[in-house]
Amino acid sequence: MTVEELTTLFPEIPADLRAEPALARLAECFDGVLKTAAKPSACSQDHTPDNRAYMKLIGPMGIYGYGLSTREKVLGQIEEILRAYEADPSAFAAELEA
C-alpha cells in the first residue's frame, strides 16, 4: 500500500505526516491489515480485530490530528510500532487479533 492509498482510506491522517518515511513503511508493512482496519464506533464496548488494528495503527495519528499529541510523539509511536512488528511479526499480529 502506498501513502496515497493509506491517506485515501484514512483521511484523518494529518497532511504534515504524509511525507514521512515512517508512514510509508507503516503503509507497506501493514498493507493487508490496513485494508480491513475500521474505526470503532464511539459507544462500542467490544472491538473486532479490524477495530484494534485501526486503534493501534491509525489512532495515534488521529489523536495528533485533533491537536492532542505532538508530531514528534506520533512519529515515535509509529517507529515503535514498526520496531515491534519487525522484532516479532507473529506476536504483533496475535496482539491485533486478541
Cell readout for 53 is 488494528
For residue 98, what pLDDT is reported? 74
Distance of alpha carbon 75 from alpha carbon 22, whole angstroms: 7
Contact yes or no for 73/64 (Cβ under 8 A): yes
Chain centroid offset of residue 39 CA? 11
Predicted TM-score (pTM) above 0.95: no
Average pLDDT, integer, range 16-27 = 97
pLDDT digit string, tens, across residues 39-78: 998 887 888 999 999 999 999 999 999 999 999 999 999 9
Show Cβ contacts of residue 2 under 8 Å, excluding neighbours closer than 6 positions: 24, 27
Band (13; pLDDT cuts 50, 70, 90): very high
Average pLDDT, integer, range 91-95 = 90
pLDDT at 5 over 80: yes
For residue 44, what pLDDT is reported? 76
For residue 47, what pLDDT is reported? 87
Sign for the pseudo-dihedral over CA of 30, 59, 98, 49: negative
Contact yes or no for 54/30 (Cβ under 8 A): no
For residue 96, what pLDDT is reported? 83
Chain centroid offset of residue 93 CA? 13
Every domain of the chain and the residues it spans = 3-97
